[in-house]
Structure 1
């Protein structure tokens, strides 16, 4: 006999404390309530009390779903034209993002990669009509670890930019330690490449294999790809949504769609929740959907999930804090959630680790450097060494720094190989000319190729047309003053 569901309270640390409230609750009810008339009333009330242009992307994503559902019922509302315009704009951007990603996805499949869509893209692949109300400006894909390099090469060879600003040569050396990385191309292309579907604190080696076994094929813009099973789509939505304090809230819509589809294997769902320690986040989500929205979550499954969460011990407090929408945070909650996040990050240690990247720290040269004939440039070939084996390399550069606090990022690469990362921190906002000295070890194999010193941005943008962003993050031209090889000691 199934265990009866206990009462869910609204006080911390019970799960109702983390339910959405206020305007977010209104929007979710407008998107999710089973009664169409009641949903439309919530939508109209929200539109009466809020300006569409004044809210964030989180609300816009839900408004797209509401427009798709209740657009005709809201036709007489003064905000209706703006609501329809917002939905069309978001739909257009999603379509353009999918179109930009299509050739890369097809190339990955052609290269022999198994590619699985996750998050919003998977819902659209299962039901193409969902794209009217489901925003997917970034395409999240999962590949097996053994396919990570091939997928990475497909993107970099097709001019997809790495969002962090590092070079492809550097990132290739770190692939084994990265769960995901973001790439973009043009005005709309945005792909998040994952080799693990879940956060580092939610890992399960057994389920990492099982998610592929449960996956099924679907068409996405004409490309045949894999999508997670309904149970996996739900747990993925809960796992990501329960960590980011409702930065986006349409993950609850994704859960509802999966439940209403009637294909969720609840035994599989319970197994994933247990293996990945998602019971508290699942209890928050399912109790809200069932008790506050009226979604038909099987009572026995809800009771089982809540009972499992109740046994989570002190980690329950941490998970409840992380699941609460950030718009509901007070000062004490902010501090408590920050502490909970640090505990979660600590649990990540020991996973996907590899030796730290080689970083040469720049030291200011206090004596006045002699003028050099070399022009300022973003890349400069270094002279070839006249010795073999391991050796030390001393590099001195002159850089004109903007009047902002920022990092100076440089790299030494040898063809397709990464040699070293050079970094210096500028604390003063005075700006002006700086002379920096870097010193590190290079090997015979690296020195046997032409070494290039390159300036790198500290982050990447689609277009560099903002002077403040260029000053704070752009690659800084440098003048090579000297590069000297010497034996190791």
Structure 2
């Protein structure tokens, strides 16, 4: 039987990345098997901290603690505030679920297999978990072949794309995107994935196997599937273990899966090896087993630690990324930032694109345009020349008044559901003022009765555009179409 080596708390051993201080105290209140010891941690944390001054990370754990102890904490002075916080978080989670349910049902009705991952999967298995598991966004995994119909469901039901690009543009890129974020109304928030893991953790064989291992569940009245217990643990570690504890309730999700008693530990070891999760898993599982007392088999933990120990220099990067950000010193901040950028370069590796990304870069013009004034608009149809269908060159000149901020200028040309091109420029100076931009590129005239339309796009979407600085920095900029000239491509 393999025996776990001693885990130290000095860098670069895995104990160095364990939660400490008040975060450790909160996690122990949520997770310690000894309820009296856990309640002592909760009461001590409440004595030493102000609920209204801590971050959303702590609020998520406080919801779990309130759900665990209920009225056993009623004697504490802040108990009413704790209950109010839990109810507020539960209400927001429930509203997010309510917004998502019709879309999930429509996806299922369209023939899409829908897998819920992360917090939503736990709620699908146990509806009562809503009280203690905050899920303000719903993470949905679909098979790559179902990405287009799932996207169409969200588009047709008024879900907004968070990045600001048009549905026409994004629909041409679906095969190359791992995930997309959508929102609707005040609470609707859906992350649509076609792959469960990011680009630094890919394994094509396991991408298929995760579906074969999935378990049937229900999300309200919608039939869905959720990952197996081993996959839920692996996914929690993959999504949370290297994120410096932006949120920490992924450790609660791991504990719930382990305590369910159905974990295929051999499978978990295989997924950890395939996905390159050994270091993050060594940090998480050693903390749960050795510091909290969760029943992780010693042989499993020993094998995970051995895998992590053999990662060489890559181990140092992962240990830095796993450490809670609240524990960072200046040098740790710099080192972790460098390590994270290296991982993000691998994480963002795009899938194969089925169509080229057509981008026209705007060039500033100094000459004043002749002709009468035209209105400033957010979209305008272009007058196409008469003739046969085919390719032509298009020269566009637009006038835009740029706010006094540094920002991107985003525009698109679309024709009905067909995306034609993105038009992009950059306002580097913060002086603002009027700019004349010239764009040139090739367009295909299809003569289908759907005109080419030039439209301004935001560089980022918000639920409500009620902040002047956000509007100035990210909002779509009205433009004046000065000229649109078509010419032969020859």
Relative to the length of structure 1, the TM-score reads 0.97
1:170 matched to 2:166? The reply is no
| Deviation per residue, 1:12-42 (Å, 9 max, x gap) | 1110011011111111011101111111111
CA gap of 1:165–1:349, structure 2 versus 1, over 3 A, is: closer
* Mapped contact 2:198–2:348 kept (Cα < 8 A): no
The match for 1:424 is 425
Q: Equivalent residue for 1:204?
A: 203
Q: Which is worse superposed, 183-192 or 360-369? A: 360-369
- Give runs of aligned pairs for residues 18-417 of structure 1, distance below 5 A: 18-348=17-347, 351-354=350-353, 357-370=357-370, 372-386=372-386, 388-417=389-418
Give, in angstroms, the shift of residue 487 of structure 1.
1.8
Give secondary structure in 2 for the equivalent of 1:443: strand
Equivalent residue of 1:399, what SS?
A: strand
CA contact (8 A) 1:384 1:447 kept: no
Q: Tell me how far 1:398 sits from its aligned partner.
A: 1.0
- Equivalence for 2:438: 437
Q: Is contact 1:161-1:185 (8 Å) kept?
A: yes
Deviations 1:112-151 (CA, angstroms, capped at 9, x unpaired): 0000000000000111111100000000000000000000
C-alpha separation in 2, matches of 1:372 and 1:229: 66
More moved, 264-273 vs 396-405: 396-405
Give the deviation of 1:448 after TM superposition. Answer: 7.4
* In structure 1, distance between residues paired with 2:28 and 2:88: 23
Take 1:96 and 1:272, find their aligned partners in 2: how far apart are those partners?
34
Give 1:158 shift. Answer: 0.3
Alpha-carbon distance, 1:245 to partner: 1.0
- Tell me the distance in 2 between the aligned counterparts of 1:187 and 1:342: 32
Give the Cα–Cα distance (whole angstroms) in 2 for the partners of residues 349 and 190 of structure 1.
Answer: 22
Q: Secondary structure of 1:403's partner?
A: coil
* Root mean square deviation of aligned Cα: 1.4
Q: Is the 8 A contact 2:199 2:349 kept in 1?
A: no
After TM superposition, give the deviation of residue 350 of structure 1 in Å: 5.6
CA distance, structure 1, for counterparts of residue 376 and residue 345 of structure 2: 43
Using the TM superposition, give the Cα deviation of residue 349 of structure 1 relative to its aligned residue in structure 2, in angstroms: 6.8
CA pair 351-431 structure 1, distance change in 2 beyond 3 A: closer
Deviation at 1:348, TM superposition (A): 4.3
CA distance in 1, matches of 2:464, 2:446: 36
- Contact 1:30-1:42 at 8 Å conserved across structures: yes
- Distance in 2, matches of 1:433 and 1:83, equals 52
189-198 vs 361-370, which deviates more?
A: 361-370
Separation of aligned partners in 1, 2:308 and 2:480: 59
User: Counterpart of 1:486?
Assistant: 487
Aligned length: 488
Shift of 1:372: 3.7
The superposition leaves residues 171-217 of structure 1 with CA deviations (integer Å, 9 ceiling, x where unpaired) of 01111111000000001111000000001100011100110000011
Instruction: Give the conservation status (yes or no) of the 8 Å contact 1:413–1:452.
Output: yes
Distance 1:435 1:117 in 2: 47
Distance in 2 separating the partners of 1:101 and 1:342: 33
Q: Are the counterparts in 2 of residues 414 and 446 from structure 1 also a CA contact under 8 Å?
A: no
Q: 1:408 to 1:446 in 2, by over 3 A?
A: farther
Distance across 2 between alignment mates of 1:416 and 1:302: 52
CA distance in 2, matches of 1:44, 1:264: 32
**In 1, Cα distance between the equivalents of 2:426 and 2:374?**
24
CA deviation vs aligned residue, 1:399-442 (integer Å, no higher than 9, x gap) = 11111111111100011000010111111222222111111111
Query: Which has the larger displacement, 462-471 or 87-96?
Result: 462-471
Q: Distance in 2 between matches of 1:101 and 1:365?
A: 46
CA distance in 2 between counterparts of 1:147 and 1:306 reads 38
- 1:7 and 2:2 are equivalent in the alignment: no
Cα distance per residue 1:227-254 (max 9 Å; x no partner): 0000000000000111211111000000
Deviations 1:354-408 (A, max 9, x none): 2652111111111122354421111000111345532211111111111111111
Mean Cα deviation higher: 57-66 or 314-323: 314-323
CA distance in 2, matches of 1:307, 1:21: 24
Runs (5+) with no aligned partner, structure 2: none
The answer to whether the Cα contact below 8 Å between 1:71 and 1:80 also exists between their aligned partners in 2 is: no
TM-score by length of 2: 0.97
Tell me if structure 2 keeps the 8 A contact 1:116–1:228: yes
Q: Any stretches of 5+ residues in structure 1 without a counterpart?
A: none
Secondary structure of 2:71's counterpart equals: coil
Q: Distance in 1 between matches of 2:322 and 2:96?
A: 29
